[in-house]
Structure 1
């Protein structure tokens, strides 16, 4: 595959998974400050399928599309004000989450058990970013920030980590077999 085709595939995969994130973001359960949405499920699926760099690029695309005003964030919201508001830390966390989740899988292997560990680590990263911004934007105490930004999402986050791992590994295997994504080099243990 020549370099031009690789770049085109990178761009298309990033756009496709940014779109997947935008679609799953609209599946939400409203809560007072931060809704439970399908965004984090999409981030986990994206990282599990695409790996670190391409997964992070997809989340950067998603954040930029939302920042310029497209209604891709939870509840059909969009605009830079979302990124600097109470829930913006989660969106910034998606970028780091996708990178770290994909990185863990690249350093180990794209297997279900490793994907589950990587996605749980990713969940913690997303919640950490979200909680820090929530604390400072709303001038909360750390305890109040954890009550609003972490505790309501732990059980659902674990369920989403399991789903993202299972879906991501299954889809990744088929996409690699179809030569639609490239197999990444992995360390041999």
Structure 2
């Protein structure tokens, strides 16, 4: 796989955007998972960069956090976050960007891209909830109640925002010759 300087720059930029949006965080008292805008950054990476570059950008983000750079929510980082209760959600980010980005590369219809983002979110929810149930020693149903159900409405809004903004930005990047 050949990666150009432009690709590296765009991947780094979207890893940085994810770092910034992760810090817009509200810790909910009933959930180990904070409300952040990370998921929106993941979708933006996939929709704007496409599958491969979106995946790489989020892989860079996860790797930075795993080695201890405080890029995760509330300026945290390190393997303890990846191996902790919320690690499954974070590990799912590159795959979410891949799913959303693949759809954007293949289809130009907003409805297909929205469906792809919903599928990506379901992957994240299931993977993250399974991870939480194992690490947190709770039932899968309990994990869904504390780490998925409170976020569904907010994540649906993020999908709508990215469907509007992300596709417009992608179109302008393509027209501008940056893609």
**TM-score, L = length of structure 1:** 0.89
Q: Using the TM superposition, give the Cα deviation of residue 114 of structure 1 relative to its aligned residue in structure 2, in angstroms.
A: 2.3
Give unpaired runs (5+ residues) of structure 2.
none
1:160 equivalent in structure 2: 158
Give unpaired runs (5+ residues) of structure 1.
182-189
> What's the secondary structure of 1:69's corresponding residue?
coil
CA distance in 1, matches of 2:107, 2:177: 21
1:175 equivalent in structure 2: 173
CA contact (8 A) 1:115 1:169 kept: no
1:80 equivalent in structure 2: 79
2:130 equivalent in structure 1: 132
Q: Using the TM superposition, give the Cα deviation of residue 121 of structure 1 relative to its aligned residue in structure 2, in angstroms.
A: 1.5
Question: How many residues are paired up?
Answer: 177
**TM-score, L = length of structure 2:** 0.94
Does 2:11 align with 1:14? yes
Cα deviation, 1:154-188, whole Å, max 9, x if unaligned, reads: 1111001111111110111111111111xxxxxxx
Cα deviation, 1:1-29, whole Å, max 9, x if unaligned, reads: xx98x611111111000000000001112
CA contact (8 A) 1:119 1:164 kept: no
Q: Let me know the Cα RMSD of the aligned residues.
A: 1.5
1:34 equivalent in structure 2: 33
Structure 1 runs of 4+ with >3 Å offset = none
Q: Using the TM superposition, give the Cα deviation of residue 152 of structure 1 relative to its aligned residue in structure 2, in angstroms.
A: 0.8
Q: Using the TM superposition, give the Cα deviation of residue 143 of structure 1 relative to its aligned residue in structure 2, in angstroms.
A: 1.2
> What's the secondary structure of 1:179's corresponding residue?
coil
Cα deviation, 1:106-145, whole Å, max 9, x if unaligned, reads: 2222x32222222111211111121111010011111111
CA contact (8 A) 1:51 1:106 kept: yes
> After the TM superposition, which residues 34-113 of structure 1 pair with which residues of structure 2 at under 5 Å, given as runs?
34-109=33-108, 111-113=109-111
